[in-house]
Amino acid sequence: MKEKRERILEDPEGYQRSQIERRLPDDFEDLEDEEQADIMSKLEGVVADVDPAALREEIQELSKLIHLAKELEKKEVEVKLSALKGLLIKQGLFSQPDMKLLIFTEHKDTLDYLAGDGKDGRPMGKLREWGLKLTMIHGGMKIGDRDTPGTRIYAEREFRESAQVLIATEAAGEGINLQFCWLMINYDIPWNPVRLEQRMGRIHRYGQEKDCLIFNFVSTNTREGRVLHKLFERIEAIQDDLDPHRTGVVFNVLGDVFPSNELERMLRQMYAHNQMTEDLIKQRIVQSVDRGRFESITQSTLEGLAKRELNLSAILGKSAQARERRLVPEVIEDFFLAASPEVGLAPKAHKEDSHVYRVGRVPRHLWPVGERLESRHGRLGREYGAVVFDKELLKRDATNEWVTPGHPLFETVREEAWERVQPHLARGAVFYDLQRRMAAQLYVFSAAIRDGRGNALQKRLFVVQAEMDGEMSIRQPTLFLDLVAPETPVPPPPGVTFVTREQAETALYQKALVPMLDEVKAGREREVKVISDHVEISLNTIINRENAIYADLCLQKEGGSLESGLDGRIKISEDKLMELGHRLDNRRAELAQERQCSIGDIQLLGSAWVLPHPDRDKPAVKPMVSNPEIERIAVDFVIAYERAQGREVESVESENRGFDLISRLPHPEDPKTALDVRFIEVKGRSEDGDIALTSNEYNTARRLRKDYWLYVVLHCATQPSLNIFRDPFDGLPWQPIVKIEHYKIRLDDPARPVVLREE
């Protein structure tokens, strides 16, 4: 305004001419002279003369206002900046270089003020002046990738690997994963409170190992600051009641209780002097952000989804199952190192047993594979430095790249390896089994259970095992862990087929897929019921609230209210009610489809022959061959012993899981809950002798450690005696037998005697 008046004062006549020219019609030049003269005469009367004295007075008043505003702004900025530095000192950011900080601002100008690089007219950022290494994300940056500087993904990588501070506008509020950071500051508060929850979601997500600290900078000496302060006060009070552990559930449903654009709309009306005041906004906040409203919605998530429907016994049982079947870093690492040479990668260990590898440049032929997978797993980098497979190693050095299923490098290697083994799978393979006396044929299938919307609810691998007499059984894919590949290729038995593929698929359907479908259906029905209850409660609560708003607006109109925009607000409320009704109907239809389950995607992945090991009768190997009668005596003896201790025993001997029994100690008040779970491998000997573990059993012992128990029963043929070893991987001197992929231990080795712990 001041600059405009200064321009007018410099050339009053020019300003008048420009005002007249702006009002001339487009066809002015085509008009007759008399018409042009008449228009000019009228416009000269409309455009007022410029009063230089009045302009100078206005310029002087505006200069005072500008000076006052700048002083206030400077004071406010200095106070805020001082508070920021004080907080960083208190949190120890300057003394802990490994500590990460995420700062959100509302505007690019504020971002430049804090993080500017001093180039192209940008100021030198205050945090740079404080010596902090930082990076930034703002709306002017492209999404990009991890290898292109100046893009958002690159900045995310830079923050993880080298920068201590990330300063961001709302562009980083969604789609960026920063769970390695646990300290966040909202330097500016958005008028839309739901965006605060989106910001929190950048660090408060799966993989976060620390309690997140989030600080909101609110200026309580402004009208909007006092309004926001009132909102935070209400949220804080409700969190104390409903979510004392601060799990985020209150913020998660804030948008349902207090519409995301409501606060912004009211603040704009307040500043436009449109019958909206600070006190009125506070009153609306108190009415809307109400404990009862939050409780009615969070009840379905906190209680309906957790307390009422979830079976604690089942959860604890799944916990034990998860310990057994978890995909440990060693397995991921072994697969990656084995598959890498097949696809052209050559990871090199930094040093022995460090489990840190340098991958280097990604071969060009893998780039198209990465591009094909990019939409699901992110962009494949062109080069990788240090990579690790165990998240714990990131605590030593956060600059390492954590490679795990879902990472673009891992998925590219897996996909390419899968493509390259297809000819081998189609051709089939031959394996040896030390414990088998007769040949068997194996068919490997995959199959899925899908709901009515096409979602895969479960997808599993199955092995159909056919004996020489045509008898078929369903085996777990872990069967292959107990088999040995020949040192040199062995052709399958010529012209022999125990069963056809069609026969194997029929057996798979009847013996495995139908029971699997019944199991998934039952679980799906329970799950959909919980979700349906939540949908009905939450959406009907929102619809009821919107109905109340609509009725209130209609009453205002019927009462003769002259409030500006009332008709528009009624139309918006009508549209919203219609949209909510459609949403509820659509969700009900979707849930009905999700209840429908069917078997699909049955695929034959490969086949194999299993032959008796050619060395099974040799003197050095024969002691490793199990005697079924002796092993049965040993297993029955162990089961009887465990039951005598008040434990429940489940046999999994036929499932090739790396152990024979699961022994559970029931909780006295809840028999379905186990106080303790043991995964037991049983070894029986007719007298004394060496004890051998298969590679599957040995690796399972390595994976389960203290949850794995080795029960050795000696003198099974006469008077059985039980010896128990917990975590045998760590405590016993195993010796590998490479040819048959077993690990042996001599119980009577004089050099390293094993102390038997007889029960």
Same domain, 208 and 93: yes
Q: How far apart are CA 353 and CA 200, in angstroms?
A: 38
Q: How far apart are CA 110 and CA 136, in angstroms?
A: 12
| Per-residue pLDDT tens digits for 694-710 | 888 888 898 888 999 99
Same domain, 165 and 236: yes
Residue 313 lies in a domain: no
Same domain, 599 and 488: yes
| Per-residue pLDDT tens digits for 293-304 | 666 555 554 444
Rounded to an integer, the average pLDDT of 250-261 is: 56
Same domain, 168 and 88: yes
Q: For residue 364, what is the domain's CATH number? A: 3.30.360
**pLDDT computed for residue 759 by the predictor:** 41
* Helices marked H in 359-500: 367-377, 408-420, 422-427
Same domain, 426 and 538: yes
- Under the banding of pLDDT at 50, 70 and 90, the label for residue 204 is low
Residue 150 lies in a domain: no
Same domain, 531 and 412: no
Comparing 448 with 65, the larger pLDDT belongs to 448
Nearest Cα to 344, choosing from 420, 290, 279? 420
Most confident segment among 50-64, 499-513, 741-755: 499-513
Rounded to an integer, the average pLDDT of 342-346 is: 94
Comparing 759 with 354, the larger pLDDT belongs to 354
- Domain end, chosen from 419, 440, 475, is at 419
Residue 756 pLDDT exceeds 50: no
Identify the weakest region by mean pLDDT among 36-40, 239-243, 433-437, 663-667.
239-243
Same domain, 430 and 576: yes
- Domain end, chosen from 541, 575, 606, is at 606
- The rounded percent of the chain whose pLDDT value lies above 90 is 33
Residue 461 pLDDT exceeds 70: yes
**pLDDT computed for residue 227 by the predictor:** 78
Q: Is the separation of the CB atoms in 537 and 297 below 8 Å?
A: yes
Comparing 86 with 400, the larger pLDDT belongs to 86
- Under the banding of pLDDT at 50, 70 and 90, the label for residue 370 is very high
Residue 73 lies in a domain: no
Radius of gyration of the chain (CA): 36
Q: Is the separation of the CB atoms in 215 and 200 below 8 Å?
A: no
Same domain, 396 and 470: no
Q: How far apart are CA 621 and CA 740, in angstroms?
A: 8
Rounded to an integer, the average pLDDT of 502-508 is: 95
**pLDDT computed for residue 739 by the predictor:** 58
Question: What total number of domains does the chain contain?
Answer: 5
Residue 152 lies in a domain: no
- Under the banding of pLDDT at 50, 70 and 90, the label for residue 307 is very low
Same domain, 546 and 694: no
Comparing 329 with 243, the larger pLDDT belongs to 329
Residue 344 pLDDT exceeds 90: yes
Same domain, 55 and 84: no
Residue 649 pLDDT exceeds 50: yes
Q: What are phi and psi of 82, to 5 degrees?
A: -65, -40
Residue 154 lies in a domain: no
Q: How far apart are CA 729 and CA 250, in angstroms?
A: 47
Rounded to an integer, the average pLDDT of 594-601 is: 93
Contact partners, residue 213, CB within 8 Å, separation at least 6: 91, 182, 183, 184
- Domain end, chosen from 68, 91, 108, is at 68
Q: Mean pLDDT across the chain, nearest whole number?
A: 81
**pLDDT computed for residue 525 by the predictor:** 93
**pLDDT computed for residue 664 by the predictor:** 92
**pLDDT computed for residue 157 by the predictor:** 84
Contact partners, residue 616, CB within 8 Å, separation at least 6: 434, 622, 625
Q: For residue 661, what is the domain's CATH number? A: 3.40.1350.10
Residue 315 lies in a domain: no
Q: Is the separation of the CB atoms in 710 and 736 below 8 Å?
A: no
**pLDDT computed for residue 311 by the predictor:** 46
- Under the banding of pLDDT at 50, 70 and 90, the label for residue 176 is low
Q: Which residues of 188-223 are buried (b: 16+ CB within 10 A; e: fewer)?
A: bbbbbbbbbbbbbbbbbeeeeeeebebeebbbeeee
Residue 752 lies in a domain: no
Q: For residue 85, what is the domain's CATH number? A: 3.40.50.300
Residue 320 lies in a domain: no
- Under the banding of pLDDT at 50, 70 and 90, the label for residue 310 is very low
Could you tell me the pTM of the whole model? 0.60
Rounded to an integer, the average pLDDT of 313-331 is: 60
Q: What are phi and psi of 184, to 5 degrees?
A: -135, 140
| Per-residue pLDDT tens digits for 17-57 | 776 677 677 666 767 777 777 777 766 555 456 667 777 77
Same domain, 302 and 330: no
**680 CB burial (10 A radius; 0-12, 13-18, 19+):** buried
Domain that holds residue 725: 615-745
Residue 511 pLDDT exceeds 50: yes
Rounded to an integer, the average pLDDT of 506-528 is: 94
Same domain, 337 and 457: no
Helices (H) and strands (E) in the chain, counts: 25, 22
Residue 252 pLDDT exceeds 70: no
Q: How far apart are CA 575 and CA 300, in angstroms?
A: 27
| Per-residue pLDDT tens digits for 68-121 | 766 765 665 677 888 898 999 999 999 888 889 999 988 888 898 898 888 877
Comparing 395 with 361, the larger pLDDT belongs to 361
Q: How far apart are CA 461 and CA 444, in angstroms?
A: 7
